[in-house]
Amino acid sequence: MEAKRKLIDDKGKRLDGRTWDQLRPVKIEVGVLKNADGSAFIEWGKNKIMAAVYGPKEVHPKHEVMPDRAVVRCRYHMAPFSVDERKNPAPSRREIEISKVIREALEPALVVEDYPRTAIEIFVEVLQSDGGSRVAGITAAALALADAGINMRDLVCGVSSGIVDGQVVLDLNDSEDKEGSGDMPVAIMPNLGLVTLLQIDGIYTPDHFKKAFELAIEGGKRIYEMQRQVLLQKYFGSSPAESTAEEQE
Amino acid sequence: MITRKQVIPGDVITKGDLRYGSFIEKRDDQFIALRVGLAEISGEGVKLIPLSGPYIPHVEDQVVGKVIDMSGFGWEIDINSCFFGYLPASFVFGREFSPGTHDLSSRFKIGDLLLAKVEAFDRSRDPQMSVRGPGLGKIPKGEIIKISPTKVPRLIGRKGYMIQMLTGQTNTEMIVGQNGLIVVAGPPEGILKAAAAIKMIEEEAHVADLAKKVEEFLKEGAVSGS
C-alpha cells in the first residue's frame, strides 16, 4: 500500500487551500426546471446536483394511499457520468440507502397532514459528484420543496464534518472523505433547532464527536443563510444575489 | 396599520395573541410561516399570501376544469389540483336522473371545458363539483392560459379592477378559475396581448403598483402594434 499523503499541511491548510472551518464555495439556484412543480440546482465544491419536486399528486399504485397524509417519495440518483469511472445507472445499494435517509431528513419539515391521499415526489440527481453529496442534495431538495409551495415548518440544510489527519474539519471534499478517518453528515432544521440526519463513518472519541457535531451545526447555519438569500432573491428579487463564500479564480 | 414582511418557511412572522389564517402555524406564542410569501400583520390578525403552491379546492371556488372521464353516474374533472373533481349526474339532470334514461354524453363529453363550482370538499373525499349557477357550465371557446393559482387574486385585483382593465383594453372576455386556469376569448391580437399581460402579472405579482404597470404595458402595446 502506498504511503498515506498528508491532507492538512503544516500551515493548517487543506488540500484545496481551506482552513479547518471553511466551507467550499456554494452556489444555489431555485426554479431551474420548467416542468417540475419546484426545483433547485446546487453547486457545492465540485458537486453539481439538481433537485426536483413533483406534487402533491395522485398516488400510484393506489394501495399506497394514506388517508390522512401525503406519501413522501425520494430518489437519489447519480448520473453515469458523475464520477470518474462510469457508474451503472441502476440504483445501487448506496443510492437506495441515501434515498431513504434524504426522505427521512426532509419529511419532518413537511406538513404532510395538509395533503391527504397524495404523493410528494422528490428527485435528487447528482450530475457531478464530490464529497458530501447527500447533504448538498438535502439542501437543494429543501429549496425545491419550498419552491413547489408545499407547507413546511422549516427549511432543512445539511453539511458534513469529519476527522482528517486527526483533526476535526468542516465540509469534507472527495479526497478527504475517502482518505480521512471519519465523516459525519448532519442535516438540521435551523429555526426549530432539530437534527434530522446524523450519520457517522469512522471512529470518534466523545470529544471528537462533540466538536465535529457542533462544527456541523454551525456550518449548517451558514448554509441556511445562503438558502434564505436565494429564496428571497427568487421570489422578491430584493436581497443581494451573492450567496457564495469565497469564489476563487 | 398593516406591516408587511417577506417570509420563507420556518420564519417567525410575529409573536403574541392574534388570529391567524392559512399557511401559518402557531408554536407557543410565535406565528411561523409555512410558505414563501408576504406576511401581513394588522389589528385583525396575521395573514400570509403565498407566492407559490398547488391549488387546493375550497368550497364555493369557481374553477375551470376539463372532463377527463365519464361513468354512468357522473363526470370526472381535472381541476389542476392534486384532487380530481367529481360532478354527479344528478346535479345536472336533477333528482329524476336515472342512468338508464339519461345519456351523460348529451351534456358534457370527455375533453369539454367547464366552469364549475366546488360544492363540497373535505379531506376525506374528492371535491364535489356543481354547474348550477349563473355562468357555470360548458365553456364554448377561448384560449387556455395557465398561471400559478396563488397569483389569481392579483390578476383579479382589488374589486376586480385589474381584470376589468385587461378585458376592456384588449377587447376580450375572460373566465378566471381560482385554480389558475384562465380562458380568454376574443380577437386573436387581443388574446395575444392579454396573454402577455397575464404572464407579466404572474411574474411580477409581488411588485407594488402593479396595476399602473400593466396599464402602461397595455397602452404601449397598442402604440408599437407588435
Whether B45 contacts chain A with CB within 8 A: no
- pLDDT tens digits, one per residue of A108-164: 999 999 999 999 999 999 999 999 999 999 999 999 999 999 999 999 999 999 999
Residue B87 lies in a domain: yes
Q: Which whole number is the average pLDDT over A10-30?
A: 94
Residue A54 lies in a domain: yes
Q: Which whole number is the average pLDDT over B190-196?
A: 92
φ, ψ for residue A162 (rounded to 5)?
-175, -175
Indicate whether B37 and B100 sit together in one domain. Answer: no
In angstroms, what separates the C-alpha of B105 from chain A's closest C-alpha? 26
Partner-chain contact A146 B123, CB within 8 Å: no
Q: Which whole number is the average pLDDT over A4-27?
A: 92
Partner-chain contact B9 A117, CB within 8 Å: no
Interface of A with B (CB under 8 A): 37-38, 55-58, 67-68, 109, 111, 115-118, 146-155, 189-192, 228, 231-232, 235-238
In a 3-state reduction of DSSP, which class is residue B194? helix
pLDDT confidence of residue B123: 81
Question: Rounded CA gap, B6 and B24, in Å?
Answer: 14
Q: Which of B9, B35, B206 sits opposite A236 (nearest CB)?
A: B206
- pLDDT tens digits, one per residue of A163-196: 999 999 999 999 999 999 999 999 999 999 999 9
Partner-chain contact B54 A117, CB within 8 Å: no
Q: Which of B11, B12, B150 sits opposite A149 (nearest CB)?
A: B150
Question: Rounded CA gap, B3 and B20, in Å?
Answer: 14
Residue B12 with chain A: CB contacts under 8 Å: 191
Indicate whether B128 and B88 sit together in one domain. Answer: yes
Say if CB A196 and CB A157 are below 8 A apart.
Answer: no
Q: Which whole number is the average pLDDT over A4-16?
A: 89
Outline where B106-187 has alpha helix (H): 152-156, 161-170
Residue B183 lies in a domain: yes
Q: CA angle, corner A53, sides to A221 and B40, nearest 5? A: 60
pLDDT confidence of residue A237: 80
Mutate to test the interface with A, among B26, B52, B124, B125 (most CBs of A within 10 A): B52
Question: Shortest CA distance to B180 belongs to which of B200, B213, B156?
Answer: B156
CB count, 10 Å around CB of B222?
Answer: 12
User: What does pLDDT average to over chain B?
Assistant: 90
Q: Which whole number is the average pLDDT over B65-80?
A: 93
Name the residue range of residue B173's domain.
Answer: 143-224
Cβ contacts below 8 Å, chain A against chain B, sum to 82
Indicate whether B13 and B85 sit together in one domain. Answer: no
DSSP B20: B
In a 3-state reduction of DSSP, which class is residue B201? helix
In angstroms, what separates the C-alpha of A2 from chain B's closest C-alpha? 49
- pLDDT tens digits, one per residue of A205-247: 999 999 999 999 999 999 999 999 999 999 888 644 333 333 3
Name the residue range of residue A105's domain.
Answer: 26-236
pLDDT confidence of residue A2: 58
Partner-chain contact A116 B123, CB within 8 Å: yes
- With cut-offs at 50, 70 and 90, classify the pLDDT of residue B98: confident
In a 3-state reduction of DSSP, which class is residue B212? helix
In a 3-state reduction of DSSP, which class is residue B51? coil
Residue A11 lies in a domain: no
Q: Which whole number is the average pLDDT over A39-65?
A: 96
Residue B54 with chain A: CB contacts under 8 Å: 37, 55-56, 148-150
Mark A84-111 as b/e (b = at least 16 C-beta within 10 Å): eeebeeeeeeebeebbebbbebbbbbbb
Given a cut of 70, whether residue B224 has pLDDT beyond it is no
Residue B57 lies in a domain: no
pLDDT confidence of residue B71: 87
CATH of the domain at B33: 2.40.50.100
Whether B187 contacts chain A with CB within 8 A: no
CATH of the domain at A156: 3.30.230.70
Cell 407547507 locates to: A151
Given a cut of 90, whether residue B215 has pLDDT beyond it is no
